[in-house]
């Protein structure tokens, strides 16, 4: 009953009939107050909306999301600015006015966007930040971006964008950060970049950019960070960059910059990071670098600096990273520089810097130093025996003269996983056994400090006990399993270590010694394995490779003392093909047998074949192959696969020549006798033939050896020597087809000494000298009062045809093809000059350089050739005689008088701009005359200009004069054919141009030999481009005679050149 009452009272109270107190006290209820009418809550103001054009712009970008994107499928509406879903990837500003939102920032990095950047983005007029890094965007930056006047940050790194950098970037006046790294942008940096008034960070690393840096870049006074690494920029760094007073970081690694560092850089006093690794900077290291007291990172590795380190480096107290290498030093000893106050160092590399003396004790006590590389110096002294709690993790001291004992603390480091390499030193407590294998501690090949008749190999226990251990071959599948290729059994090389490793093969016939720590990665891999996209048929050799960060040496033990062919096999399997960069380079030095073969800056991707080979001598049963990283090449992408890489090694004896007697070798005797007989018979036969050729038809076999063609067949093959079959630009040469083979038939004059001489020389020289870069003579014919030479037809005709032919026939020669042609001409001439016949061609010009379908050079037209060493064809002759007769030393090239000149006299070619001065002046010739002609041809190839170009009715332009002018201005590179644009290799071009200028020196004694030219072009001989000094004299740059002139003046002579025979 009470519960019912309670519920009733509560009901009345809750329904407002009376208060609970009134019910309990019985007080009368108050009169009800009047109720106000019902009012709904005030409506909320509408949310600001995004304009339609901005909605469309955002959606055009979201449409590029793949189904696997972390964001997933998404659609943006006019109210999406207020949705939490989009807040991580998009920021709007809805406070600009009461009714409108504006997109101010987009964060879509790593969202798997695929396709081109939508031009609609340009409609986001208030956009301040655009982050689209790490996607798969392609194409170029839309021109509509010019409307993004508020844009402050543009980050498009790690995509596949391409094309030139847009010039309109200078119109983005609010731009502070431009990040375009890891893409495919090409061409040069536009000068307009200097018009960005607020730009602070310009990050363009790992693209395909090239050319010189514009001076205008130094006008961006607000710049704090500049990263141009991993591109193909070349030339000298602009002096204007010294005006960037706020610059804190400068990275230009792995480009083609050269010359000395600008003196203006001494003003860059706020620099914290300066990394110029892997360029071609030269001269001495400027002293102002060591006065940048805010510097924390300094890398000068992989350049061509001269001189030595300063005695003191005390002006860099904040430095944590220092890397310098490859300094040649000086005549006096270069002691370890004083760096005692750089106490914050974490990484110190002074590799191959010609340092002598002891390592300062304070180095071992730097409390932050974890990486120490002092390898390949001449350091002496001991390593401290006691060092507690050292922070060192990586210690590389290879190839010094350190002595004493290897301390226990250093050995303990290797036991804890650190890399320690103290090999090639003179420690006394090192005992090596025949089964010695080291993974993280390398002590191999120590040098005894005691006088001992035994070799260091015997002292170390690596020697051959008896003759049964002597081998005459060595085959290693580097990084791979045992395999058999072409009947050769390659041994396995699968040891996974390489940081500081010595490994001896099971049969103890070979070993490898590897050293180094890969930069910027915690994981080291020393064997690569890739079976996909291996084009070589010997997949088992090329699908694996061994790599090393710094130094990789292979040793062959117990080889018979003999001459060996060493073939090193290479296949680039280290680069991740999914990356975007096209500038990746693996560059290292190759040294076989202590310098018997040496190639600096070897680049695997430049190999025409999958291997390089050389011949070396083994004299102490030992072979050494050293691959060494100097600091050049790519390291950015990927970080851990740079440095020396090798797929396989093949070593076998050089084939022996047949037994020889103790006097003149039979082959030489046969050559001499054969040459004398052939030329004697040919001269006599042709003398007789030329007198009676109108009275009697001669049989081909009476005049020459080799293949004799029937005249009727040759006539039928060339359609009766029809004018339509005549090959333009190469004289009386007719194209034909004989037995399904395309041929070129050259018709020589049977009435002239020139024709007779060319006929004799072609048969005697080309037949005797077989070389890939000499024309292939198939045979000849002397019927029907004719002298005919039959050559293999060249599909590309000639260099003249390719470079300067009519527009419809002119070929587009890319840089690689031009370089190949230059090298081919050089090799062909080297063969002529250094053969036993010692031939001087005397008429090298583009017309006589034939090209096959693969642009392989075939030197032709020996109508004016001479023999330099006359002793090769019989009894000694006077110096004023050639192999075919005598000449007055003052009139070597006297004009022929038809029907009166003795057969022994050599014909004279018409004077052309390709001829050496001595050839025009009548001085006895040497092979250096061909070197001059080669220099002119090289200038034509690189520049795409003819030696003489008609400028107007009354004047000509001379390529050589233009080259002199550019050389005096220090701007030879300006000669490069503008048709190439930026698609060439500036360092190669400059080397070729400087080499050409050395070849055209007026003094023939100062010209290089063709064999030296070949070595320089192949990178096997150093060439100082500054050594290409200006020739002693020049010729007039133009003629202006007031009337049409068909003649010009040759360099340094008064002889006239027939313009009609310039080529």
Q: 780: buried, middle or exposed (CB in 10 Å: 19+, 13-18, 0-12)?
A: buried
For the segment 841-862, the average pLDDT, to the nearest whole number, is 88
Q: Could you report the per-residue pLDDT of 257-312, keeping only the tens digit for each? A: 999 999 999 999 999 999 999 999 999 999 999 999 999 999 999 999 988 898 88
Tokens matching residue 270: 């706020």
Mean pLDDT confidence for 1001-1028 = 84
3-state secondary structure of 265: helix
Tokens at 707, concatenated:
């293949």
Residue with tokens 């990586």: 394
Class of domain 799-1063 (CATH, top level)? mainly alpha
Instruction: List alpha helices for 792-891, DSSP H.
Output: 799-804, 815-834
Mean of per-residue pLDDT scores for the chain: 79
Mean pLDDT of 92-116: 89
pLDDT score recorded for residue 868 = 66
Mean pLDDT of the 367-387 span: 94
> Tens of pLDDT along 397-423?
999 999 998 888 888 888 888 999 999
User: Is 60 exceeded by the pLDDT of residue 47?
Assistant: yes
Q: What is the pLDDT of residue 639?
A: 53
Concatenating the DSSP letter of every residue in 23-91 gives HHHTPPPPPPPPPPPP-PPPPPPPPPB--HHHHHHHHHHHTTB-TT-TT-S----TTGGG-GGGTTTEE
Q: What is the DSSP letter of 467?
A: G
Long-range contacts of 423-430 (CB under 8 A, 24+ apart): 423/398, 423/399, 423/502, 423/513, 423/515, 424/398, 424/399, 424/400, 425/397, 425/398, 425/399, 425/400, 425/401, 426/401, 426/402, 427/402, 427/403, 428/403, 428/404, 429/405, 430/406
Residue 89 burial (CB count, 10 A) = 19
Question: What pLDDT does residue 463 have?
Answer: 57
Look at residues 381, 408, 407, 413 and name the one whose alpha carbon lies nearest to residue 395. 413
* pLDDT of res. 768: 66
Q: Is the pLDDT of residue 827 over 90?
A: yes
pLDDT of 541 strictly over 90: no
Query: Which tops the pLDDT comparison, 212 or 1048?
Result: 212
Reference 568, options 529, 536, 613; nearest CA is: 613
Task: Kindly indicate the confidence band of residue 435, based on its pLDDT and cuts at 50, 70 and 90.
Answer: low
> For residues 303-326, b (16+ Cβ closer than 10 Å) or e, as one string?
bebeebbbeebbbbeebbbbbbbb
d(CA 847, CA 799) in angstroms, rounded, equals 6
Q: How many CA atoms lie within 13 A of 507 on its CB side?
A: 16
Q: Is the domain covering 464-653 a CATH 2.60.120.430 domain?
A: yes
3-class DSSP state of 144: helix
The pLDDT value recorded for residue 80 is 80
CA 677/CA 702 separation, integer angstroms:
13
Mean pLDDT of the 847-851 span: 90
Split at pLDDT 50, 70, 90, the class of 43 is low
The confidence score (pLDDT) of residue 1056 equals 32
Checking if the pLDDT of 964 tops 60, the result is: yes
Beta strands 129-131 and 394-396: pairing type? unpaired
CB 786 within 8 A of CB 709: no
User: Biggest alpha carbon distance in the chain?
Assistant: 164
Range 919-948 average pLDDT:
90
Phi, psi for residue 346 in degrees, rounded to 5:
-105, -30
Q: Look up the CATH number of domain 665-793.
A: 3.30.200.20
User: Of 360, 323, 318, whose CA–CA distance to 342 is shortest?
Assistant: 318
Residue 540 DSSP one-character state: H
Is the peptide bond between 1042 and the residue preceding it cis, with omega within 30 degrees of 0?
no
Whether the pTM exceeds 0.85: the reply is no
Q: Do domains 665-793 and 799-1063 have the same CATH topology?
A: no
- The predicted-structure confidence for 611-655, as pLDDT tens digits, reads as follows 899 999 998 888 999 999 999 988 865 556 788 999 999 999 998
Stretch 768-780: mean pLDDT = 81
Do 110 and 70 meet the contact criterion of CB atoms below 8 Å apart? yes
Residue 1027: the pLDDT is 54
Structure confidence at residue 691 (pLDDT):
43
Do the strands 741-748 and 733-738 form a parallel or antiparallel pair, or are they unpaired? antiparallel
Task: Choose the most confident range, by mean pLDDT, from 782-786, 833-837, 925-929.
Answer: 925-929
| Phi then psi dihedrals of residue 885, to 5 deg | 150, 180
Listed by start position, the domains of the chain span 464-653, 665-793, 799-1063
- Give residue-wise pLDDT tens across range 455-485: 455 444 455 655 556 889 999 999 999 999 9
Q: 136 falls in which pLDDT band (50, 70, 90)? A: very high
For the CA atoms of 782, 786, 790, 794, the dihedral, rounded to the nearest 10 degrees, stands at 170
Nearest Cα to Cα of residue 112 among 159, 79, 46: 159
Name the pLDDT band for 1049 (thresholds 50, 70, 90). Answer: very low
3-state secondary structure of 391: coil
How far apart are the C-alpha atoms of 962 and 1036, rounded to whole Å? Answer: 11
Q: According to the model, what pLDDT value does residue 414 have?
A: 83
Separation in Å, CA 644 to CA 485, 519, 625 = 24, 14, 12
- How does strand 249-251 pair with strand 273-275? parallel
Judged by average pLDDT, the poorest of 152-161, 660-669, 738-747, 922-931 is 660-669
Q: What's the pLDDT band for 230 if we cut at 50, 70, 90? A: very high
CA distance 1014 to 798: 21
When pLDDT is cut at 50, 70 and 90, the band that residue 729 belongs to is low
Nearest CA among 394, 423, 392, 419 for reference residue 406 = 423
- At 173-203, the pLDDT tens digits run 999 999 999 999 999 999 999 999 999 999 9
Is the Cβ–Cβ distance between 277 and 251 less than 8 Å? no
Number of helices (H), then strands (E), belonging to the chain: the values are: 17, 56
**What is the rounded CA–CA span in Å between residue 272 and residue 292?**
8
- Cβ partners under 8 Å of residue 466, min gap 6: none
Q: What is the pLDDT of residue 711?
A: 86
Strand segments, DSSP code E, in 557-665 are 562-569, 587-592, 597-603, 611-618, 623-628, 645-646, 648-653
Sign of CA dihedral 699, 703, 708, 714: negative
**Is residue 861 pLDDT above 60, yes or no?**
yes
Secondary structure of 959-1002 in HEC code, one letter for each residue:
HHHHHHHHHHCCCHHHHCCHHHCCCCCHHHHHHHHHHHHHHCCC
In this prediction, residues 765-786 reach a mean pLDDT of 78
More confident residue, 555 or 417: 555
Structure tokens at 456: 């260091």
Enumerate residues 6+ apart whose C-beta is below 8 A from 583.
Answer: 206, 207, 208, 230, 231, 232, 254, 634
Q: Dump pLDDT digits (tens) for 669-702.
A: 455 445 545 555 554 454 444 444 433 333 333 3
Residues 739-749 have a mean pLDDT of 83
- Is 940 or 46 the better-scoring residue by pLDDT? 940
Residue with the bigger pLDDT between 185 and 27: it is 185
State the pLDDT confidence band at 874, using cuts at 50, 70 and 90: very low
- pLDDT given at position 575: 63
């Amino acid at each position: 009953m009470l519960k019912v009452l309670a519920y009733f009272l509560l009901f009345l109270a809750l329904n407002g009939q009376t208060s609970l107190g009134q019910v309990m006290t019985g007080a009368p209820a108050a009169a009800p107050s009047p109720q106000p009418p019902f009012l709904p809550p005030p409506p909320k103001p509408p949310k600001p909306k995004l304009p339609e054009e901005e909605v469309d712009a955002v959606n055009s970008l979201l449409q590029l999301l793949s189904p696997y994107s972390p964001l997933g499928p998404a659609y943006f509406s006019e109210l999406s600015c207020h949705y939490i879903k989009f807040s991580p990837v998009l920021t709007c500003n809805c406070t600009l006015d009461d009714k409108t939102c504006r997109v101010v920032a987009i964060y879509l990095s790593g969202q798997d966007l695929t396709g081109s950047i939508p031009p609609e983005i340009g409609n986001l007029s208030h956009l301040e930040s655009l982050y689209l890094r790490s996607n798969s965007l392609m194409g170029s930056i839309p021109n509509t971006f010019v409307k993004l006047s508020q844009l402050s940050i543009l980050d498009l790194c790690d995509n596949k964008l391409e094309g030139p950098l847009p010039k309109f970037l200078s119109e983005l006046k609010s731009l502070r950060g431009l990040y375009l790294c890891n893409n495919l942008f090409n061409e040069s940096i536009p000068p307009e970049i200097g018009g960005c008034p607020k730009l602070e960070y310009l990050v363009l690393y790992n693209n395909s950019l090239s050319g010189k840096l514009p001076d205008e870049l130094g006008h961006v006074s607000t710049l704090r960070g500049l990263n141009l690494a991993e591109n193909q920029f070349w030339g000298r760094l602009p002096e204007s960059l010294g005006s960037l007073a706020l610059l804190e970081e400068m990275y230009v690694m792995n480009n083609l910059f050269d010359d000395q560092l600008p003196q203006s850089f001494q003003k860059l006093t706020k620099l914290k990071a300066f990394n110029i690794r892997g360029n071609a900077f030269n001269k001495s290291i400027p002293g102002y670098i060591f006065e940048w007291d805010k510097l924390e990172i300094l890398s000068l590795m992989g350049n061509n600096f001269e001189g030595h380190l300063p005695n003191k480096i005390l002006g860099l107290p904040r430095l944590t990273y220092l890397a310098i290498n490859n300094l040649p030093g000086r005549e006096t000893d270069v002691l370890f520089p004083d760096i005692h106050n750089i106490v914050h160092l974490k990484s110190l590399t002074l590799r191959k810097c010609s340092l002598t003396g002891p390592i300062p004790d304070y180095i071992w006590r730097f409390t932050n130093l974890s990486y120490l590389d002092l390898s390949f110096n001449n350091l002496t002294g001991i390593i401290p025996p006691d060092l507690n709690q050292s922070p060192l993790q990586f210690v590389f001291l290879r190839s010094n003269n350190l002595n004493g004992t290897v301390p226990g603390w250093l050995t303990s480091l290797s036991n804890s996983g650190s890399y320690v390499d103290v090999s090639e030193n003179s420690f006394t407590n090192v005992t090596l056994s025949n089964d010695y294998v080291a993974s993280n501690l390398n002590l191999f090949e120590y040098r005894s400090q005691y006088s001992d008749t035994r070799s260091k190999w015997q002292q170390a226990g690596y020697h051959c006990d008896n003759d049964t251990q002597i081998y005459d071959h060595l085959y290693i599948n580097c990084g791979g399993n045992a395999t058999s290729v072409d009947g050769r059994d390659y041994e396995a090389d699968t040891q996974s270590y390489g940081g500081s490793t010595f490994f001896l093969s099971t049969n103890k016939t070979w070993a490898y010694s590897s050293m180094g720590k890969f930069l910027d990665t915690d994981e080291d891999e020393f064997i690569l394995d890739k079976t996909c996209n291996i084009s070589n048929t010997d997949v088992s050799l090329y699908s694996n490779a061994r790599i090393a960060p710094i130094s990789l040496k292979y040793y062959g033990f117990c080889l018979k003392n003999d001459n060996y062919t060493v073939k090193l096999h290479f296949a680039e399997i280290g680069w991740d093909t999914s990356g975007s960069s096209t500038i990746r380079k693996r560059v290292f030095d190759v040294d076989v047998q202590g310098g018997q073969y040496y190639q600096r800056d070897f680049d695997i991707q430049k190999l025409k074949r999958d291997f390089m080979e050389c011949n070396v001598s083994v004299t102490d049963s030992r072979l050494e192959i050293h691959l060494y990283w100097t600091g050049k090449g790519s390291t950015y992408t990927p970080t851990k696969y740079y440095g020396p890489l090798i797929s396989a090694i093949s070593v076998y004896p050089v084939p022996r020549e047949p037994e020889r007697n103790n006097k003149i070798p039979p082959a030489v005797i046969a050559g001499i006798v054969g040459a004398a007989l052939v030329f004697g018979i040919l001269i006599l036969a042709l003398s007789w033939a030329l007198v009676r050729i109108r009275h009697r038809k001669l049989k081909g076999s009476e005049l020459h050896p080799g293949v004799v063609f029937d005249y009727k067949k040759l006539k039928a093959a060339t359609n009766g020597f029809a004018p339509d079959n005549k090959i333009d630009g190469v004289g009386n040469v007719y194209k034909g087809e004989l037995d399904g083979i395309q041929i070129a038939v050259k018709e020589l004059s049977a009435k002239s000494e020139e024709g007779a001489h060319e006929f004799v020389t072609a048969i005697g020289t080309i037949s005797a000298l077989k070389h890939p870069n000499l024309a292939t003579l198939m045979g000849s014919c002397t019927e029907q009062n004719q002298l005919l030479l039959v050559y293999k037809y060249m599909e590309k005709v000639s260099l003249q045809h390719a470079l300067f032919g009519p527009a419809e026939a002119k070929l587009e020669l890319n840089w690689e093809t031009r370089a190949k042609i230059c090298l081919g001409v050089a090799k062909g001439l080297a063969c002529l000059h250094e053969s036993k016949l010692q031939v001087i061609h005397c008429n090298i010009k583009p017309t006589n350089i034939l090209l096959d379908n693969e642009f392989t050079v075939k030197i032709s037209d020996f109508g004016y050739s001479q023999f330099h060493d006359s002793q090769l064809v019989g009894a000694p002759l006077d110096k004023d005689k050639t192999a075919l007769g005598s000449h007055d030393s003052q009139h070597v090239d006297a004009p022929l008088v038809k029907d009166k000149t003795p057969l022994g006299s050599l014909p004279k070619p018409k004077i052309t701009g390709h001829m050496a001065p001595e050839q025009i002046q009548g001085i006895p010739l040497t092979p250096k005359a061909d070197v001059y002609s080669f220099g002119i041809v090289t200038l034509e190839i690189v520049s795409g200009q003819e030696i003489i170009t008609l400028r107007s009715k009354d004047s000509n332009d001379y390529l050589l004069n233009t080259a002199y002018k550019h050389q005096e201005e220090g701007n030879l590179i300006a000669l490069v054919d503008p048709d190439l644009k930026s698609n060439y290799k500036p360092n190669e071009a400059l080397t070729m141009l400087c080499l050409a200028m050395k070849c055209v020196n007026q003094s023939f004694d100062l010209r290089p030999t063709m064999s030296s030219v070949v070595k320089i072009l192949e990178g096997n001989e150093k060439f100082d481009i500054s050594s290409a000094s200006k020739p002693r004299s020049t010729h007039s740059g133009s003629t202006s005679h007031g009337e049409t002139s068909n003649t010009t003046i040759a360099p340094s002579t008064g002889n006239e050149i027939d313009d009609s025979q310039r080529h």
